[in-house]
Structure formats: structure tokens, C-alpha cells
């Protein structure tokens, strides 16, 4: 199999993995928007009122990105938005780490300040988000994927017909 035929499968795996990340992250937050706002506020990068708005919008944005990636609609655009969001998340984690804040990043949890005796894992959080950023990068570079709305709209030949 040549790389030209392999890339759509690699991109499909990246698209579905990133979709799962966004859907899980958003779903874990959408049930408690107050906790999501507190997680954003724990970074101490904006006023509480702004953090409340960001924390309330973020889960819905994550779910929307996940759904778009799941169905494969506007894949390159969605990957670009994902990349920007991930860079913001990585910068926020680095900022919290550099300022000595002891918080849970809130990526897959309610986040906020850590209880006494708990340790932060900023390095692992950053590495994880860099892996997600790599998925977005693959989709920015090679957005053609299998089983996607984009392929159907572009009239790509079905996989079995080649």
C-alpha cells in the first residue's frame, strides 16, 4: 500500500481520536458548568466573570468540535480550531506551572485547586495535549479521511470502488 493510500486511514484515526477527546472532555464538563467556570478561574488569567463565561461556553465548544470531527465535516477548519484551542490549553498549563499554582488542569475533570497533599502532573498534561495537537496537525496537513461527510460532499470514490 502506498503512502497516498495510507494517509486517509492515518488521518481517519487522528480524526476519530481527536473527536473522542473533545466529546469526552466536553461531556464531563457540561453537566456542571459552575465547576467548569471554577476550573477556568483557577488559572488566574482572567476575571471571575470572564472565567464564568469561558467555563460555560467551553464544554459546548468541545462537544461541537467533537461532533464535527466524528462526522468528518469541515475537517481542516475543525482541526485548525482544535489546534488553536490546544495551544491555548498548553499555554495555560505552562503558565500555571511557571507561577507555582497547584491546580488540576480541568481537561477531563472538574478541575480547580488541588486538595492538600495532591501533586500536579503538569508535564504529563502538556505531553498529552501535545499528542492531541499532533492529531490536529495531521488533519491540517492531510484532511482527507475515510467515512466522512467531507468525502461524501466532495464526491470521493467509495473505498471499495478503487
> Three-state DSSP class for 6?
helix
Residues contacting 107, CB < 8 A, separation 6+: 25, 89, 125, 128, 129
Q: Is 144 helix (H, G, I), strand (E, B) or coil?
A: coil
SS (H, E, C) 70-123: HHCCCHHHHHHHHHHHHHHHHHHHHHHHHCCCCEECCCCCCCEECCCCCCCCHH
pLDDT per residue over 92-147, tens digit each? 999 999 999 999 888 887 677 776 667 888 999 999 999 999 999 999 999 999 99
What residue spans define the domains of the chain?
A: 3-151
Secondary-structure breakdown of the chain: helix, strand, coil percentages, each rounded to the nearest 5: 70, 0, 25
- The model carries a pTM of 0.89
pLDDT digits (tens, 9 = 90+) for 36-55: 999 999 999 999 999 999 99
- Mean pLDDT estimate for the chain: 90
At residue 158, does pLDDT exceed 60? no
Helices and strands in the chain: count of H runs, count of E runs = 6, 2
Amino acid at each position: 500500500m502506498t503512502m497516498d493510500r495510507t494517509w486517509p486511514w492515518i488521518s481517519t484515526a487522528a480524526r476519530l481520536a481527536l473527536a473522542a477527546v473533545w466529546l469526552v472532555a466536553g461531556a464531563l464538563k457540561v453537566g456542571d458548568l459552575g465547576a467548569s467556570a471554577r476550573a477556568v478561574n483557577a488559572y488566574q488569567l482572567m476575571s471571575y466573570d470572564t472565567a464564568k463565561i469561558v467555563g460555560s461556553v467551553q464544554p459546548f465548544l468541545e462537544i461541537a468540535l467533537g461532533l464535527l470531527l466524528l462526522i468528518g465535516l469541515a475537517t481542516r477548519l475543525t482541526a485548525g480550531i482544535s489546534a488553536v484551542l490546544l495551544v491555548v490549553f498548553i499555554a495555560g498549563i505552562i503558565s500555571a506551572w511557571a507561577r507555582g499554582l497547584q491546580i488540576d488542569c480541568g481537561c477531563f475533570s472538574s478541575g480547580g485547586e488541588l486538595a492538600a497533599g495532591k501533586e500536579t502532573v503538569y508535564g504529563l498534561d502538556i505531553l498529552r495535549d501535545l499528542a492531541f495537537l499532533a492529531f490536529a496537525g495531521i488533519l491540517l496537513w492531510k484532511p482527507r479521511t475515510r467515512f466522512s461527510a467531507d468525502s461524501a460532499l466532495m464526491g470521493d470514490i467509495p473505498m471499495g470502488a478503487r
